[in-house]
Amino acid sequence: MAEATATSSPLRAFLRDYGVFLVVGVVLLAAGIAVGLFVFGDTELARSLIDRYGLYALFCILVLEGAMLLYFAPSEALVPAGVALLAETTSEVAAVILVAVAGATVGQFLLFSFAKRAGREYLLERPWFRVDESRLERFDRWFDRWGPVVVPVSNALLFTRGMLTVPAGFAEMRDWQFVVLSAFGSLVFQTWLALAALGLLGRL
């Protein structure tokens, strides 16, 4: 026991002294990949990055998708690409799904938090926010009528995915509640995409 403790002490000391730098480095690398994709990306680039960097690239791309900044590749193509390139076993398919859900949830939470703090008018003035006021008002009415339940429902559907993120922020929905419901809807969405990629959806 004493020997095991002595062996782990240098690692603990390293993480204590330099852990914050490791975290910052990972975040900066993720941000760099995300910015590069946002500015220069296309579908083939996204696919090649997933092929080269695996789950880490998938996570970064899904952060953009969740934040509604994924203009260069259809969101429904990402998990099927991840399954095709990275997954050969059931556990690897599950890993692709979970990483995609985590990335999308992080991205949606960032947009949700921005909407919650910056407000409607400021967000509508941003050139990167490509939802016009009439569409936003429609989804505002959805949230006003049905409440938080529309967050996972919309996230599970292709053409409304993510569209309730901003109305939820404007309504000052609780952070933990948004994260849980957003993640659940994304889990449903990414799971059926993975099943479709595997050719299993028609057998259910």
- Rounded CA-CA distance 112/164 in Å is 9
Give a yes or no: residue 154 inside a domain: yes
Query: Could you tell me if residue 54 is inside a domain?
Result: yes
Quick check: is 6 in a domain?
Answer: yes
The count of domains in the chain is 1
Reported as a single tens digit per residue, the pLDDT across 128-168 is 887 888 888 898 999 999 999 999 999 998 888 888 999 99
Q: Would you give the DSSP letter of residue 172? A: T
Q: At what angle do helices 55-66 and 2-40 cross, to 10 degrees?
A: 50
Residues 63 and 34: beta-carbon distance below 8 Å: yes
* 156 within a domain of the structure (yes/no): yes
Helix, strand, coil abundance in the chain, percent, nearest 5? 80, 0, 20
pLDDT at 73 over 70: no
17-69 tens-digit pLDDT:
666 566 556 555 655 655 565 555 556 777 888 888 889 989 988 998 888 88
Parent domain of 90:
2-198
Q: Is residue 203 part of a domain?
A: no
| 185 vs 204: CA distance, rounded Å | 19
Please state the pTM of the whole predicted model: 0.76
Does residue 204 lie within any of the structural domains?
A: no
What is the pLDDT at residue 204? 41
